[in-house]
Structure 1
Amino acid sequence: MQFKKYFLVVCSFASFLGCRSISVNKSAMHTATTTPVALGVIGIHENHMLNTDFQVTTIPTYKKGIRVGITPTTFDKTTFKAYKNSSPNNPQQITYIDSVDTKPQFLKIELIDWVSIISELEQGYNQQTIEYLKRQQDAEMISSVSMSVSPQIIKEIQSAEAVFLVNKNYKQYELSLVTDGKSHKTIDFSDTTIFGYRLSYFCWGENDKRRVSLFDIVDENDNCPKDTYKNAEKAKEKINYLKL
């Protein structure tokens, strides 16, 4: 993967295109899913009485790395409880004592380069995903995760110039750490614990060929931009109405 070229392009056009991040806070974080989740996947989210559930329905292919934002965050009672509920065996061996001033940290990781995500989804190798999204208006993308990793990995991520979500192999992702325009280390999600996540949904509108096209991906609590719709069929009806 030619990270150097891609990294320079991202940096050059960031101010023009506007990499847009999603604000994540504890009150908005979904936890206690009954199935594993991953950053960048698409599925259906359901709220049940005792837990939430996110069923992955499609895993897009990202042949170009997707830039992510990293925010080291200190555990508190609420987030540590969410971590322990997600992984009772405490695989990262996190020790949290409320009375001790120095608390362990976790990472909030969020997709920020929506222009590249939309471009990737529109490629031929993701055609089935796009067709699925047009039919399923309730589909959402996991756009941010709260993730526990070892202190060493936190240091390595913080020291990188940029971090990208990339395809590891068929239908799996990993994080690539980039310095001096080159990937120097990858982090497998199997070595982490994701205990919280946030969602975004898809907005459809009319392109310059008067066809329904993916225009935006917005936070779950936001509205689609003007003249775009969460329901692709509604966008299609609008186009057909204007043709009359």
Structure 2
Amino acid sequence: MNYRKLLCFLPLIALITSCSVLPKKDAFEATSTKVSLAVLGTKERSFRKTDFETVGIPVLKKPVALNYSVHNFTEDLFKEYTNMSSGQPAPVVKYVDSLENKPKFVVLEIMDKVLLLSQLNKDVNRTSRTYIKNRPNTKIITGVRMVLTAEMKTQLKAADALYLTSNKRNKNIVLLYKKERQIGTLSLDNSFAFGYKMASFCWDISEEKQVRLGALVGDGERCSQKMLRDPKKLEERRIQEYLSF
């Protein structure tokens, strides 16, 4: 073995290895427009941010489980929050990099995506589903970064489980649970979302040979081989299979 050649290749191997463990791109995008969990819409890119234009709110008859986590502001995220909240009625946040106790924000994410898709396929959401079918680039908000009021923080601390559902006015609210018992509700109207995560829809064909929403994938990700982003192509495939049978 030529050890000189091996030594020449070591820096290249180290570079390749280091590239393989690069941190993943942040799935959240900055926004200056009002967003909320589970709403449908389209994104509009600009130089500094990606604004989200809401076009519809699906009806959630069954509560969808949420994941809730608390995070410290970093300097970059605080700048993002400051830029997005400028001129808007957002909670006041003070950040000093030298202080050990940093201000915090929360992340709410839809955890039970299977149940969410099941409800989107129900008759009550036929209008929303038709809209998605005609506009395959439609997205759904699956996560938000938020700054809460002091009252909302107190409410969340008392709960050990959160669920998203629709009230009688078909407006999404958060149900607060403690030891499997509902202890309250939370409206997100007074919160301020300065970042959001989107998902795209994939369509498949059910066992009853009906075209339906089959999966949610991260923004920019591809559907599996059996699913398609455009449902009209699936309908064409179903017709061809029926004619060839």
TM over 0.5: yes
Partners of 1:91 and 1:164 in 2: CA distance: 24
Instruction: Indicate yes or no: 2:190 matched with 1:206.
Output: no
Structure 2 counterpart of 1:76? 74
Structure 2 counterpart of 1:231? 230
Shift of 1:49: 3.0
Structure 1-normalised TM-score? 0.83
Partners of 1:151 and 1:36 in 2: CA distance: 20
Structure 1, unaligned stretches of length 5 or more?
A: 1-24
Partners of 1:90 and 1:82 in 2: CA distance: 16
Shift of 1:164: 0.7
Partners of 2:118 and 2:106 in 1: CA distance: 27
Distance 1:79 1:169, change over 3 A: farther
The sequence identity of aligned pairs, in percent, is: 25
- Deviation track 1:92-119 (CA, whole Å, cap 9, x = no partner) reads 2221111111101111111010121112
- Deviation track 1:210-229 (CA, whole Å, cap 9, x = no partner) reads 22111111111332123001
Structure 1 counterpart of 2:18? none
- Aligned-CA RMSD value: 1.9
Partners of 2:158 and 2:224 in 1: CA distance: 36
Structure 2-normalised TM-score? 0.82
Structure 2 counterpart of 1:43? 41
Contact 1:43 1:139 in 2 (8 A): yes
Describe the SS at the equivalent of 2:62.
Answer: coil
Structure 1 counterpart of 2:15? none
Alignment of 1:53-92 (within 5 A): 53-88=51-86, 91-92=90-91
Bigger shift: 40-49 or 143-152? 143-152
Contact 2:31 2:52 in 1 (8 A): no
- Deviation track 1:138-197 (CA, whole Å, cap 9, x = no partner) reads 100000000111355335424422101122442422211111322212221122110000
Structure 2 counterpart of 1:120? 119
Bigger shift: 39-48 or 86-95? 86-95
Partners of 1:159 and 1:40 in 2: CA distance: 24
**Deviation beyond 3 Å, 4+ runs, structure 1:** 150-156
Describe the SS at the equivalent of 2:214.
Answer: strand
